[in-house]
């Protein structure tokens, strides 16, 4: 756990759990919380012991969005990678290790739009979701006017943003906004179990797949889709992780992607083969 912090950090095997810890303000973001959250994401992304990330909130909120009393200091731009805004930059989040939002309570505004950029969302039965922008005479942020219809469909997204309605967890699941709904005491165990399932895979493969999926979501459907798929496959086949995946299948054993000595030996074999 970090000291004196608006963020709490826990490591569970290869999963880094990051908790927003400003419960008296419903984990609403100001510059200080945003900076600490961005730093925590950066540290997790750079740590080789971390394979996946889970975010959640302390208290009765995941995040109530932007703190209106002490808002983020400046407009969040696509090119803004300051530590206070890194956590909300879509290009940055797309390059993170796999990340899961475990939504324990209220998820509104930037608390919701930022998690749309994550790889999946799991909700407690106590979770509540809203795109409240119309209700405060604002507009959807962080590219969510493009991304939300991709996730739940255009007309559902229109209803959600035009009404500013608050949806409970079951309604959010019916919309396709969240992947599953669980009891409050099962939220973190479920999210961590899913993150562990992801984290056991090759880090290189996970990063490549995330990049590929986002690329095709944004620009896919053209004739370049198939060419890019072939290029990614050819790139993957050069990795020691690919060789390990094939060997583990042939030898009927668990993969050893995170056994450093084993993987170093495979990389040496590949280098010898290439020479």
The pLDDT, as a whole number, for residue 135 is 84
Mean pLDDT of all residues in 145-170: 95
Sheet (strand 106-108) strand order: 61-63, 106-108, 128-130, 167-168
| Average pLDDT across the chain, whole number | 89
Query: What share of the chain has pLDDT > 70, as a percent?
Result: 91
> What mean pLDDT is predicted for residues 70-93?
64
Sheet with 180-182: strands ordered across: 7-12, 15-20, 52-57, 99-103, 120-124, 180-182
Within the chain, where are the H helices? 31-46, 90-94, 110-113, 144-152, 154-163, 169-175, 187-199, 203-219, 224-236, 240-250, 260-274
- Give 110 or 224, the one with higher predicted confidence: 110
What is the CATH architecture assignment of 7-199? Alpha-Beta Complex (3.90)
| Contact (Cβ atoms closer than 8 angstroms) between residue 14 and residue 27 | no
- What pLDDT score was predicted for residue 249? 82
Question: Which one has a higher pLDDT value, 80 or 212?
Answer: 212
| Residue-level pLDDT at 95 | 87
Q: Residue 74: which pLDDT band, with cuts at 50, 70 and 90?
A: very low
Tell whether the model's pLDDT for residue 264 goes beyond 90. Answer: yes
Delimit the domains of the chain by residue range.
Answer: 7-199, 203-274
Rounded distance, CA 129 to CA 226, Å? 37
Percent of the chain with pLDDT over 90: 62
Spatial CB neighbours of 75, under 8 Å, sequence gap ≥ 6: none
The structure's pTM equals 0.86
- Give residue 50's Cα distance to chain centre: 14
CA distances from 237 to 36, 51, 180, 204, 230 (A): 38, 21, 34, 11, 11
- The CA distance from 7 to 58, in Å, is 9
Between CA 214 and CA 44 the distance in angstroms is: 21
Mean pLDDT calculated for residue range 103-127 = 96
Higher pLDDT: 179 or 77? It is 179
**pLDDT per residue as tens digits for the range 2-17:** 446 999 999 999 999 9
**For 5-9, 127-131, 196-200, 234-238, which range has the lowest pLDDT when averaged over its residues?**
234-238
Mean pLDDT, range 210-228, rounded to an integer = 79
């Amino acid at each position: 756990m970090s000291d004196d912090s608006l963020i709490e950090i826990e490591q569970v095997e290869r999963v880094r759990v990051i908790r927003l810890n400003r419960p008296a303000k419903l984990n609403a973001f100001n510059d200080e919380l945003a900076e600490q959250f961005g730093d925590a994401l950066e540290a997790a992304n750079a740590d080789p012991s971390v394979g996946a990330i889970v975010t959640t909130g302390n208290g009765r909120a995941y995040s109530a969005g932007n703190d209106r009393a002490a808002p983020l200091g400046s407009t969040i731009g696509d090119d803004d990678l300051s530590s206070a805004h890194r956590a909300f930059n879509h290009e940055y989040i797309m390059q993170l290790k796999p990340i899961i939002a475990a939504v324990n309570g209220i998820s509104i505004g930037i608390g919701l739009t930022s998690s749309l950029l994550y790889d999946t969302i799991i909700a407690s039965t106590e979770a509540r979701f809203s795109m409240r922008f119309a209700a405060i005479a604002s507009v959807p942020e962080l590219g969510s006017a493009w991304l939300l219809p991709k996730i739940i469909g255009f007309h559902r997204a229109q209803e959600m943003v035009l009404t500013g309605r608050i949806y409970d967890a079951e309604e959010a699941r019916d919309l396709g906004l969240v992947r599953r709904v669980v009891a409050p005491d099962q939220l973190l165990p479920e999210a961590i179990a899913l993150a562990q399932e992801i984290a056991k895979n090759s880090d290189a493969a996970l990063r490549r797949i995330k990049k590929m999926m986002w690329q095709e979501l944004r620009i896919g459907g053209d004739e370049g889709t198939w060419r890019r798929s072939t290029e990614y496959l050819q790139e993957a086949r050069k990795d020691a992780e690919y060789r390990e995946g094939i060997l583990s299948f042939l030898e009927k054993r668990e993969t050893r992607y995170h056994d450093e000595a084993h993987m170093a030996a495979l990389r040496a074999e590949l280098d010898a083969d290439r020479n």
